[in-house]
Every structure is written in structure tokens, then in C-alpha cells.
């Protein structure tokens, strides 16, 4: 008979062992979950974003970063910043100014009185007798060069002239023979056939002279075009066409140049051009015969005059500017070509304007700006920038034609410190 008691004892031991194992697994899982939650709560250890992270919304990229790099419309100064920068403000002074504008210009040579001399033919430069800035008189030797082509052209002209002399002698003899034949025919001393031969020879001689005369004209024109005064040896001498100043010299002795290569520029400095590219809004102020006043940095205290002699028929498509040219009488030669100028053009009537010190206008991104102040009552202030259009300048003040109104309070002193703060605010900020 089988004993049941040992079997029951074994089954009981197995059940107790299984229960203990399950309890150990649950305890280990709970401990692992608690550890993971503890690590997740530590900063920087979370694998997925926390609810607080998602509540922040998208990171400031694209539009916001572009806004940071763009020029701000206003900046705020503390009382200490205002004192340190010497910033002072006050109400603008309103008044009226003539319908005028200040536009940039450039002094340039008068092309009607400028000669750009080039090599008439291919050749080698022998001597250069002038330097930039030298004054020359009409007919003065500037450059001497050796040109085989010019020598050949001069030789062809000489040959054509010699041929013309020979043909004229033959034609003269033929004319004499014809006259003699006519007398003999009248006396019936010669047959008519001899007379007709004399007439034919005379006509051939006349035609030959006409043909050679045409060849001489062609050869002379070619020689004059190529040689500009060369002799039969091919030596070419370039001379000043009028009295003036050497503006530029590209010729170098010993070098070989092609036909048309620029050698010397001669200009008459007694008259110059003032070239202006006027913005579209000022186009109506320019008309032929109008009087202009301008200044140059070299003579900042002096004002020069010019008169408009050409106005463009239309605006430049790319720049939206009107090409204007004025004539300057430069008798004593103070002005030089390529000088930059500030041109004041006066129009008819007057227009309202605000007047501010010249230092109150600062250039930001290439445009004139003034800074409108909004004091906070605690020594600080907020400054808004305004783009303005400028008019005439006088006595250290400039007329603001557009951008300010009566009652506006603007920075009168220390505007550069405000400009620096705007530029600083426009710089992209570095993230750590």
C-alpha cells in the first residue's frame, strides 16, 4: 500500500517554493521601476520630453532669428547709459525751406574738351615726353613711336604723288600732240587717221591723270589716318591737339602696342563736368539751364557753382535715377576730375521742413535716420528710429523734408551712442 503522506509533503514544499519565487520577481520589478522613475526625474536623464518641455512650444528659429538680426525699431537707455553717452534731446524746430535737395555727384573731365590719343598703327614706342599733370601747349610733342605700317602708308602716298606727276606730263604731251595734229589736218599735211590717234591719246592721258589723282587722295587719307604725321621711315609723332593738362599716360618707352592702344589723355581743365544720378523723387528739380551749387571734401568751406546742360530723357531702369550733367567753369583749376561732390539743387517755391543739427542725422544701413526720444520720467528713455529725407544744409543744421512732424522730440546730441546701441541690438546673439 502506497504511503500518501510523503507525497503531500513534497507537493506542499513545491507550492511554497513557487510562491517565494513569484514574490521575488514582483519585488525586483517594483525596485527596477522605482529606480527608472528616480533616474527619469533627474535633470538631463529623461529620454522623452517632459510635459514642461512641450509646453514651451517650438524653438525660436527661422522668423524669430531673422528678426533678431534685423535692425530694431527702438532701443531703451537707462539713466546711466544716457549720462555716459552724453545723450540730449529736444523738440524739432519747424520752418520752411526752398524746394531743394542734396544729392551725390562726381566731378569728371569735360569730354568735349578731352582728347584720348591712341596708337594710330601697330609699332614700338620710342619716347614719351610728358608725365601726368604736365601742362602742354597745342602742337607739343607727346609720344614718338616707330611703325612699319605707318612707314608703308607714307611710302605709298609718296609713290602715288610721283605717279601723278608722271601722268600729268604724259597728258600734257598728249594734249600738245593733239593740237599739232589739228593744225596739220587743217593744212591736209597728215591723214585723218593720225589725227584721230592723237585725239585718243589725249583722252587716255586725261583719264589716267584722273585715276591717279583718286589714288593719291586715297593714299594720303590712309597715311594721315595711320601715321598721324609720320615720315617715310615710319617714325610717328603724336602731338597735343590743344593746350591742356596730361590726365593720364599709358605709354611706356620700348613697348610694342597694337593699333588703337590708349597712350595719352589730354584735357582742358578750364571746364569740367558735374555728373549726377538723381533719385526719382528729385527728378522734377532738374532742368536744362538750372543752377546748381555743390561742395567737395577738399574744400569743405567753399561752395562752387555749375549749370545744367544735359538731362536724361528717362530714368535708369536698374537704379531708378535720372542722369544729369552740369558744366563747371574751373578757371583757376582748383577742382580736379574724379572728386566727389554734394550737390544742392534748388527748386521753385518752398516746402515745410524740420531743422535738426547735422550730428542728429546718423546713417543706418546706408539710409539717414534720426532718433525720436520718449523719456520715462526716471532719467531713462526709449528711442525710436525714423528714416528721413534730407534737404539743404546751412549753419550746421539740415532740413528734414520727410520723416518728422511738429512736436517730435529727437536726439540732438549723442546720437552716435544711440546709433551704436541699434547696431549692437542688430547683431545675432550667441547661445551657450
* Per-residue pLDDT tens over the stretch 259-279: 889 999 999 999 999 999 988
Q: Which residues pair with 77 in a beta bridge?
A: 381
Claim to verify: residue 84 and residue 154 sit in the same structural domain: no
β pairing state of 74-77 and 381-387: antiparallel
Whether 324 and 314 have beta carbons less than 8 Å apart is answered as no
Residue 46 lies inside a defined structural domain of this protein: no
Whether 118 and 261 have beta carbons less than 8 Å apart is answered as yes
Q: Which of 349, 375, 395 is the last residue of a domain?
A: 349
Whether 156 and 149 have beta carbons less than 8 Å apart is answered as no
Claim to verify: residue 141 and residue 246 sit in the same structural domain: yes
Q: Which of 349, 377, 400 is the last residue of a domain?
A: 349
> What mean pLDDT do residues 349-367 have?
85
Place 103 in a pLDDT band, splitting at 50, 70 and 90: confident
C-alpha cell belonging to residue 49: 520630453
Q: Which residues pair with 104 in a beta bridge?
A: 342
Name the residue range of residue 253's domain: 114-147+237-267
List Cβ<8 Å contacts ≥24 apart for 285-293.
Answer: 285/99, 285/100, 285/101, 285/345, 285/346, 285/347, 286/311, 286/322, 286/324, 286/345, 287/311, 290/345, 290/346, 291/346, 292/326, 292/343, 292/344, 292/345, 293/343, 293/344, 293/346
Claim to verify: residue 263 and residue 380 sit in the same structural domain: no
Question: What CATH code is carried by the domain that includes residue 395?
Answer: 2.40.420.20
Residue 29 lies inside a defined structural domain of this protein: no
Residue 11 scores a pLDDT above 50: no
Residue 91 scores a pLDDT above 60: yes
Placement of cell 586715297 in the chain: 218
Q: Which of 267, 288, 312 is the last residue of a domain?
A: 267
User: What is the CA 93 to chain-centroid distance, rounded?
Assistant: 37
Claim to verify: residue 138 and residue 213 sit in the same structural domain: no
Claim to verify: residue 201 and residue 310 sit in the same structural domain: no
Whether 322 and 280 have beta carbons less than 8 Å apart is answered as yes
Claim to verify: residue 256 and residue 142 sit in the same structural domain: yes
Which pLDDT belongs to residue 412? Answer: 93
Residue 379 scores a pLDDT above 50: yes
Looking at the structure of the chain, the number of domains it has is 4
Buried/exposed 127-153: b ≥16 CB within 10 Å, e otherwise: ebbbeeeeebeeeeebbbbbbebbbbb
Claim to verify: residue 153 and residue 142 sit in the same structural domain: no
Distance CA(310)–CA(312), nearest Å, equals: 7
Residue 166 scores a pLDDT above 90: yes
Claim to verify: residue 227 and residue 252 sit in the same structural domain: no
Residue 213 scores a pLDDT above 70: yes
Which pLDDT belongs to residue 29? Answer: 45
Claim to verify: residue 276 and residue 398 sit in the same structural domain: no
pTM attached to this predicted model? 0.53
Residue 401 lies inside a defined structural domain of this protein: yes
Residue 190 lies inside a defined structural domain of this protein: yes
Claim to verify: residue 313 and residue 282 sit in the same structural domain: yes
Residue 258 lies inside a defined structural domain of this protein: yes
Which DSSP string corresponds to 54-81?
HHT-S-S-THHHHHHHSPPSEEEE-HHH
Residue 1 lies inside a defined structural domain of this protein: no
Q: At what angle do helices 148-186 and 192-227 cross, to 10 degrees?
A: 160
Closest C-alpha among 431, 117, 85, 134 to residue 263: 117
β pairing state of 88-91 and 409-413: antiparallel
Which pLDDT belongs to residue 229? Answer: 53
H/E run at residue 162: helix 148-186
Q: Give the DSSP letter of residue 382.
A: E
Residue 2 lies inside a defined structural domain of this protein: no
Which pLDDT belongs to residue 431? Answer: 58
Distance CA(260)–CA(19), nearest Å, equals: 111
Place 41 in a pLDDT band, splitting at 50, 70 and 90: very low
Claim to verify: residue 159 and residue 226 sit in the same structural domain: yes
Place 54 in a pLDDT band, splitting at 50, 70 and 90: very low
Of residues 13 and 140, more confidence is placed in 140
Residue 288 lies inside a defined structural domain of this protein: yes
C-alpha cell belonging to residue 378: 526716471
Distance CA(7)–CA(3), nearest Å, equals: 8
Closest C-alpha among 322, 375, 309 to residue 103: 322
Place 349 in a pLDDT band, splitting at 50, 70 and 90: low
Claim to verify: residue 129 and residue 244 sit in the same structural domain: yes
Amino acid at each position: 500500500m502506497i504511503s500518501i503522506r510523503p507525497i503531500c509533503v513534497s507537493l506542499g514544499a513545491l507550492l511554497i517554493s513557487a510562491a517565494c519565487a513569484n514574490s521575488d520577481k514582483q519585488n525586483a520589478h517594483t525596485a527596477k521601476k522605482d529606480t527608472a522613475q528616480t533616474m527619469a526625474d533627474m535633470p538631463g536623464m529623461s529620454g522623452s520630453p517632459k510635459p514642461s518641455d512641450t509646453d514651451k512650444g517650438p524653438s525660436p528659429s527661422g522668423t524669430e532669428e531673422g528678426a533678431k538680426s534685423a535692425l530694431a525699431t527702438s532701443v531703451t537707455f537707462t539713466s546711466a547709459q544716457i549720462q555716459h553717452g552724453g545723450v540730449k534731446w529736444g523738440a524739432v524746430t519747424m520752418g520752411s525751406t526752398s524746394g531743394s535737395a542734396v544729392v551725390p555727384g562726381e566731378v569728371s573731365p569735360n569730354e568735349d574738351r578731352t582728347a584720348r590719343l591712341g596708337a594710330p598703327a601697330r609699332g614700338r614706342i620710342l619716347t614719351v615726353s610728358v608725365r601726368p599733370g604736365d601742362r602742354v601747349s597745342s602742337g607739343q610733342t607727346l609720344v614718338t613711336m616707330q611703325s612699319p605700317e605707318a612707314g608703308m602708308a607714307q611710302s605709298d602716298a609718296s609713290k602715288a604723288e610721283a605717279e601723278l606727276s608722271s601722268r600729268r606730263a604724259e597728258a600734257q604731251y598728249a594734249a600738245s600732240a593733239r593740237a599739232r595734229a589739228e593744225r596739220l589736218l587743217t593744212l591736209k599735211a597728215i591723214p585723218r587717221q593720225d589725227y584721230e590717234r592723237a585725239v585718243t591719246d589725249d583722252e587716255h592721258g586725261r583719264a589716267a591723270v584722273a585715276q591717279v589723282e583718286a589714288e593719291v587722295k586715297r593714299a594720303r587719307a590712309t597715311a594721315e589716318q595711320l601715321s598721324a604725321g609720320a615720315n617715310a621711315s615710319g617714325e610717328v609723332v603724336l602731338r597735343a591737339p590743344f593746350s591742356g593738362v596730361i590726365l593720364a599716360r599709358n605709354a611706356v618707352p620700348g613697348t610694342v602696342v597694337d593699333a588703337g592702344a590708349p597712350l595719352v589723355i589730354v584735357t582742358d581743365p578750364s571746364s569740367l563736368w558735374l555728373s549726377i544720378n538723381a533719385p526719382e523723387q528729385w527728378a522734377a528739380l532738374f532742368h536744362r539751364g538750372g543752377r546748381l551749387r555743390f561742395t567737395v571734401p577738399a574744400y569743405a568751406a567753399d561752395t562752387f557753382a555749375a549749370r545744367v546742360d544735359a538731362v536724361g530723357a528717362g530714368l535708369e531702369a536698374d537704379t531708378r535715377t535720372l542722369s544729369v550733367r552740369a558744366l563747371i567753369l574751373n578757371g583757376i583749376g582748383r577742382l580736379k576730375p574724379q572728386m566727389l561732390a554734394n550737390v544742392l539743387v534748388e527748386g521753385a517755391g518752398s516746402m515745410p521742413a524740420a531743422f535738426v543739427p547735422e550730428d542728429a542725422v546718423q546713417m543706418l544701413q546706408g539710409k539717414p535716420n534720426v532718433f525720436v526720444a520718449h523719456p520715462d520720467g526716471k532719467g531713462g528713455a526709449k528711442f525710436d528710429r525714423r528714416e528721413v529725407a534730407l534737404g539743404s544744409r546751412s549753419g550746421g543744421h539740415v532740413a528734414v523734408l520727410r520723416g518728422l512732424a511738429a512736436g517730435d522730440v529727437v536726439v540732438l546730441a549723442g546720437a552716435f551712442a544711440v546709433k551704436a546701441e541699434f547696431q549692437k541690438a542688430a547683431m545675432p546673439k550667441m547661445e551657450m
